[in-house]
Amino acid sequence: MVAERSWYREVKTAVVMGIPLMMGCGFDAVLKSPGPADVRFVFSDTVLTLNTTVPLVVTVIAGGVPQAHPDLITFTYNPNVIGVTAGDDSLVARRSGTDSINIRFQSTLRSGVDDTVIAIRVHP
């Protein structure tokens, strides 16, 4: 009888402590419907100067909430005009012309991948 009460008390303590911990870690987001949320990309600089490297600054707004550290994958269609550094954190203007970059946002809490294509011009 004493062993049953001890076991019950341990389970009750684990539930009382575990639920707030799971909710604080974002576990409740896993249980929500992964329905589509509006995802927008905010990009500032679309004109680059030849032979310069500029930081890639992109703000991702998902469901109206800016994402703190979004997982982005960036690539260009013509790497002879614009290149992306190895860390996907800067753009390199290599040759005069126009190119487009593709930015993809991935999240473990979303079922799909959202992306956008942004045209960028490099001038001398």
Whole-number Å distance between alpha carbons of 11 and 9 = 6
CB within 8 Å of 124: residues ≥ 6 apart: 49, 50, 96
Where does the pLDDT of residue 37 fall: very low under 50, low under 70, confident under 90, or very high at 90 and above? low
What is the spatial distance between Cα 105 and Cα 70, in angstroms, rounded to a whole number?
7
- Per-residue model confidence as pLDDT tens digits over 67-119: 888 888 888 999 999 999 988 888 999 999 999 989 888 776 666 677 788 89
- The model's pLDDT over 39-68, given as tens digits with 9 standing for 90+, comes to 778 877 789 999 999 988 888 888 788 888
Mean pLDDT, rounded, for 5-33:
62
Give me the CATH topology for the region 34-123.
Immunoglobulin-like (2.60.40)
pLDDT class for 20, splitting at 50, 70, 90? low
Domain ranges of the chain: 1-32, 34-123
DSSP-assigned beta bridge partners for residue 103: 74, 116
Q: Please give the average per-residue pLDDT across 22-51, as a whole number.
A: 68
The structure tokens listed for 5 are 């009460």
pLDDT of residue 92: 93
SS3 23: helix
Q: Above 60 in pLDDT, residue 3? A: no
Q: Whole-prediction pTM value?
A: 0.62
Residue 109: predicted pLDDT: 63
